Structure 1
Amino acid sequence: MVAQVAFGAVSLNGLTNRTPVVVEEVSLAQLSENQLYIATPFAKPVILNPEQKQQLQERVVLKVELVYTRFRSSPTFNQQLLNLNRLKELNRLVPGLFEAPLWEFQLTEQTKGNNPEVCNQMFHGFIITFRPNSSNSMLKQEADYLKKLVGSFLKQDSIDRYNNPTTTNSNLTGSSDSTGTGDSTSSGTTKKPMKFTIKTHYDKKWGYIYDTIWFVDTVKPPPPPDFFYNHQLYQDSTVLNAFDRNRDWSNFIVVTDVTGSMSPYSAQVFIWLKAQTQNDKAKYFVFFNDGDDTESRKKKPLETKGIYVTENKGVDAVMQTATKCMLKGSGGGESLENDVEALIEGAKYYTSASSLILIADNFESMRDYDFINKVSKPVHVILCGSERGVNIQYLDLAYRTKGTVHTKFSDVTNLNDLKEGEHIYIDEQKYLFKNKRFHFVYDAFQYQNSSVR
């Protein structure tokens, strides 16, 4: 039996115990531009191309696949132990990879080799899948999508006013998982019944329509960009759900990451803003892109820039600032963002704010994590893409600022009640509070196959 080995969050033994995917042979020629390989020899754990370390440190990893062959020369050969040693070597090369285990893991067993000579010619090692970087043209398409989304809001307003001058945005009631109809005004004047939905559904002509407010048989929303690497994200209603569950929030600043892959969540900010009968709860909006296309090696904590701020003067004005920030940004595939810098910058514009709401990419950590103590307002963190677990840096941010954390399904409001050594469960996954910081508990993570950001 192989002994338990854990590095921070990950039980390496737990990974090697998984049922493998069986294939005849893995072909490196089939790798996409968002994948790279880390090679090991047949029957040995040593890593042959450690120069790939930099990419693993800088980019967001979605999947780690360990590839080996079924063939063994000796009946006593222990494949599980070899796989474990290969994982230990990868951990030595990139320890940070195992400190935030938000990726999918897969064992892949090849069946082609039936002798050492054949196996020596086959690939063994790791295939790493990254979240794609966005090109400038892709960023423009995402920005255009958001502009069209807001444009359809404004067009709908015009139709509503034309069809029924008494209809106002106060018709828009309901949660992110409900449907409804128009009601009567407070003065008793009956408005024209207008059905709306805030559910995810599929339209044969228009494709997927997600978590937005559309009146039946009127203006249809634009489809999301067809290049987007994971269209299931447009079904994720994390931001809308969090706002809907916390309607008592007021007098706040919204700080939003608009780097690549965040457009499904940015769209929900505008949907939420448009749905407000009185949109004065959010006083300012801050958008950040981690440095305006600055090279990674030149980015310094609290000096990264790429932060754009606007007063809340309506959804159209806020949209202009957001798209400007998006277009000035870069690929969005890096593993670090300047969240703290954006929070500090936003607070300067409205010192009377009661709190800051950070809409954060759960897969990306904070470049300026060590400066959390400079944030002077409570931070309510809405985490996007936390299905595989919560990035513990954002738990620390909320704890140290006396804020809260919000996932698609949960509101975590009791962080400051935790005592040393206590555990907390968030969406059925377990975390340890120790030394005034949060830690993953590895046995809570299953690494099962599923869609990831």
Structure 2
Amino acid sequence: MSFCIYAQSPEQLYFRAGYRSVGELKIDSTKQFFTLPMSYGEDEILTLPEAETISRLQIDSVLLVYTDHPKDFDFSSLNINRIEAFSKWFDGSIDDPVIRWRIIKQTQGVSKRDFEKMFHGIVVYYRKHPRKESTPEEENKRKKQIEHRFDHLVKKKLHVEDHVNSNTAEIFSEHRDKWNKIVVVSDWTGSMYPYTLDLLSWLIQERAQDQVIGFVFFNDGDTKLSNQKVIGETYGVYHIRSSKVMPVMNLMASVKNKGDGGDLPENDIEALIYAQKEFPDANTFVLIGDNQSKVRDISLVDQLKRPVEIILNYADEDKNGIPYIVSDYKKLALVTGGNIYVNKQSFSTIDEIKSTRSLQLNDQ
């Protein structure tokens, strides 16, 4: 049986690929491989390899692995969707005649629980090869493809339609040679989604994921009412020690579903204290903050022991182009020895920070 498939669609590939029935799949650990796990009965990839890894793979063969439960059920629609999910991240994989595809059905189980414990998803056997220098045109095409896939993932996982904003990515790009072992502390409430999503997309496109060691997301107490929020114990703060797209986006979705704090002030300092405790090995702490909200717990700022790089979403400006910045963020920068970035401007020295206009938010 031949496994060289000239497929034009996931459906055509599925019905042409080699097929094998086994009790339970045993992965050949003598070869280089990675897995793309999916849940029982689902077609969403739960974990992806690093973008750097993807770009340097020469795929030899791909196994689509599923279980025969319910017995004799028609799994073609589910498995075709799984192939399509794979192809969105691995361009040309279903059209490449060199790549051997096999469909593996696992049968060794009695109850649903038995089958749920088995592996479901994709197994990829590959060889690494040195990455060739890309032409500017090829590199631009690669980035656009990643951006397209990322857009699809954001809409599916987070149900966020408009996340295009280059503000955060531009600042990270400018400081790429200075910032390392970064922890990103992000206000994860409604209007702030675009500013961290922009960064995550940039990290993948620029193969810069190794610069960030973790993320902290805060939403000012999940669904707590204002009168239930205690300074320093508002909670709604969550972290992950990873910069891989799927684990980070899974946490984003989880925090989004937990609520957005209800009122406008945010617990930025509580989140920063938490971050500095959880990531003592970090070199750079970056806060992505909302310049339309007060910092609820600015009174705790003296507990911070490390400088904070503050990226703000937006600021109105006076006639001379000087931005109006919430005074809490100015105090945070001055106390910790950090910097403020907003509207493509940066404010680093004490005099520069003090020279900005103070934004008064009396209705909060």
- Find the aligned partners of 1:155 and 1:407 in 2 and give their Cα distance: 38
Confirm or deny that 1:400 pairs with 2:344: no
Q: Secondary structure at the match of 2:232?
A: coil
Structure-2 residue corresponding to 1:57: none
Does structure 1 conserve the Cα–Cα contact (< 8 Å) formed by 2:214 and 2:239?
yes
- Find the aligned partners of 2:86 and 2:327 in 1 and give their Cα distance: 39
**TM-score w.r.t. structure 2 length?**
0.56
Q: Which amino acid aligns with 1:410?
A: Q
Does structure 1 conserve the Cα–Cα contact (< 8 Å) formed by 2:89 and 2:149?
no
Does structure 2 conserve the Cα–Cα contact (< 8 Å) formed by 1:237 and 1:408?
no
Q: Which amino acid aligns with 1:397?
A: L
Aligned partner of 2:274 among 340, 345, 356: 345
Structure-1 residue corresponding to 2:230: 300
Confirm or deny that 1:270 pairs with 2:200: yes
Does structure 2 conserve the Cα–Cα contact (< 8 Å) formed by 1:242 and 1:407?
no
Confirm or deny that 1:196 pairs with 2:140: yes
Q: Secondary structure at the match of 2:309?
A: strand
Q: Can you list the C-alpha shifts for 1:392-437, whole angstroms capped at 9, x where unaligned? A: 211110111011111131122223xx3xxx8855xxxx43xxxxxx
When residues 272 and 188 of structure 1 are mapped into structure 2, their CA distance, relative to the original with a 3 A threshold, is closer
Structure-1 residue corresponding to 2:187: 257
Aligned partner of 1:357 among 286, 289, 307: 286
When residues 220 and 272 of structure 1 are mapped into structure 2, their CA distance, relative to the original with a 3 A threshold, is closer
- Find the aligned partners of 2:243 and 2:146 in 1 and give their Cα distance: 28
1:357 Cα deviation after fit: 0.4
1:24-173 to structure 2, matched below 5 A, reads 156-159=88-91
1:371 Cα deviation after fit: 0.7
- Find the aligned partners of 1:189 and 1:290 in 2 and give their Cα distance: 46
Q: Which amino acid aligns with 1:251?
A: K
- Find the aligned partners of 1:384 and 1:235 in 2 and give their Cα distance: 13
When residues 294 and 251 of structure 1 are mapped into structure 2, their CA distance, relative to the original with a 3 A threshold, is same
Q: Can you list the C-alpha shifts for 1:14-60, whole angstroms capped at 9, x where unaligned? A: xxxxxxxxxxxxxxxxxxxxxxxxxxxxxxxxxxxxxxxxxxxxxxx
Aligned partner of 1:322 among 234, 252, 262: 252
- Find the aligned partners of 1:397 and 1:239 in 2 and give their Cα distance: 19
Structure-2 residue corresponding to 1:287: 217
1:288 Cα deviation after fit: 0.7
1:233-244 to structure 2, matched below 5 A, reads 234-244=163-173
Does structure 2 conserve the Cα–Cα contact (< 8 Å) formed by 1:280 and 1:312?
no
- Find the aligned partners of 2:316 and 2:85 in 1 and give their Cα distance: 30
- Find the aligned partners of 1:256 and 1:303 in 2 and give their Cα distance: 18
Q: Can you list the C-alpha shifts for 1:132-189, whole angstroms capped at 9, x where unaligned? A: xxxxxxxxxxxxxxx9xx999985431166789xxxxxxxxxxxxxxxxxxxxx9684
Structure-2 residue corresponding to 1:381: 310
Q: Can you list the C-alpha shifts for 1:166-225, whole angstroms capped at 9, x where unaligned? A: xxxxxxxxxxxxxxxxxxxx9684558535379xxxxxxxxxxxxxx4239975834988
Identity of aligned residues (%): 26
Confirm or deny that 1:411 pairs with 2:346: yes
- Find the aligned partners of 2:288 and 2:94 in 1 and give their Cα distance: 36
Does structure 1 conserve the Cα–Cα contact (< 8 Å) formed by 2:150 and 2:201?
no
Q: Which runs of 5+ in 2 are unaligned?
A: 1-46, 52-81, 97-128, 156-160, 318-323
Q: Secondary structure at the match of 1:194?
A: helix
1:237 Cα deviation after fit: 2.1
Does structure 2 conserve the Cα–Cα contact (< 8 Å) formed by 1:155 and 1:219?
no
Q: Which runs of 5+ in 1 are unaligned?
A: 1-146, 165-185, 199-212, 226-230, 432-438, 443-453
Structure-2 residue corresponding to 1:44: none
1:165-244 to structure 2, matched below 5 A, reads 189=132, 191=134, 194=138, 196=140, 213-215=143-145, 221-222=151-152, 234-244=163-173
1:235 Cα deviation after fit: 4.9
- Find the aligned partners of 1:153 and 1:400 in 2 and give their Cα distance: 47
- Find the aligned partners of 1:293 and 1:224 in 2 and give their Cα distance: 23
1:344 Cα deviation after fit: 0.7
When residues 331 and 260 of structure 1 are mapped into structure 2, their CA distance, relative to the original with a 3 A threshold, is farther
When residues 358 and 216 of structure 1 are mapped into structure 2, their CA distance, relative to the original with a 3 A threshold, is closer
When residues 402 and 156 of structure 1 are mapped into structure 2, their CA distance, relative to the original with a 3 A threshold, is farther
1:275 Cα deviation after fit: 2.4
C-alpha RMSD of the superposition: 3.9
Structure-1 residue corresponding to 2:12: none
1:262 Cα deviation after fit: 1.4
Q: Which amino acid aligns with 1:347?
A: Q
Structure-2 residue corresponding to 1:7: none
Q: Secondary structure at the match of 1:267?
A: helix
Does structure 2 conserve the Cα–Cα contact (< 8 Å) formed by 1:290 and 1:337?
yes
Q: Secondary structure at the match of 1:320?
A: helix
Structure-2 residue corresponding to 1:312: 242
Structure-2 residue corresponding to 1:170: none
When residues 372 and 156 of structure 1 are mapped into structure 2, their CA distance, relative to the original with a 3 A threshold, is same
- Find the aligned partners of 1:163 and 1:317 in 2 and give their Cα distance: 29
Q: Which amino acid aligns with 1:246?
A: H
